[in-house]
Chains A and B, each alone.
Chain A
Amino acid sequence: MPVERYEGVQLGTTPEEIEDEVERGVLLTTLDRAIGWARKQSMWPATFGLACCAIEMMATGAGQYDLSRWGMEVFRASPRQADLMIVSGRVSQKMAPALRRIYDQMADPKWVIAMGVCASAGGMFTNYAVIQGVDTIVPVDIYVPGCPPRPEMLMYGILSLQKKVRTEEPFK
Chain B
Amino acid sequence: MTLAELATAVSTRYPDVVVAREEATLVVAPDDLLAVLTWLRDAPGVQLDALMSVTATHWPDRDPSFWVVYELRSTALAQRLRVKVGIRDDGQHVASVTGMFPTANWHERETFDLYGIVFDGHPDLTRIMLPADWSGHPLRKDEPLGGVPTWYHGALMPPIDERGMA
Contact = CB atoms under 8 A, between A and B. Distances in A.
Contacts, number: 29
A101 to B, nearest CB: 14
B148 A122 contact: yes
A126 B130 contact: no
What's the interface size class on A, roughly?
Answer: under 10
Contacts of A121: 150
A94 B113 CA distance: 14
A126 B148 contact: yes
Interface in A83-142: 93-94, 121-122, 126-129, 132
Contact of B160 (A93, A94, A126, A132): A126
B102 interface: no
A128 B143 CA distance: 10
For the residues of A in contact with B, the DSSP-based class is: loop
B60 interface: no
Contacts of A129: 129-130, 138, 146
Nearest to A95: B131
Contacts of B145: 126-128
A94 B148 contact: no
B150 A126 contact: yes
B123 interface: no
Interface residues of B, number: 14
B44 interface: no
A127 B131 contact: no
Contacts of B143: 128
Contacts of A128: 138, 143-146
A127 B130 contact: no
Interface string B110-143: 0000000000000000000111001000100001
A132 B131 contact: no
A16 B70 CA distance: 75
Contacts of B130: 93-94, 129
Nearest to A124: B160
A126 B159 contact: yes
A93 B134 contact: yes
A129 to B, nearest CB: 7
Interface in B30-86: none
A122 B143 CA distance: 20
B6 to A, nearest CB: 38
Contacts of A126: 145, 147-148, 150, 159-160
A31 to B, nearest CB: 41
Contacts of A93: 130-131, 134
B134 A127 contact: no
A132 B159 CA distance: 12
Given A93-B131, A129-B129, A132-B147, 4 more contacts: A126-B160, A129-B130, A129-B138, A129-B146
7 contacts: A93-B131, A94-B130, A121-B150, A126-B159, A128-B143, A129-B129, A129-B130
Interface of A: 93-94, 121-122, 126-129, 132
Interface of B: 129-131, 134, 138, 143-148, 150, 159-160
Shortest beta-carbon contacts, A-B, top 3: A128-B146, A126-B147, A94-B131
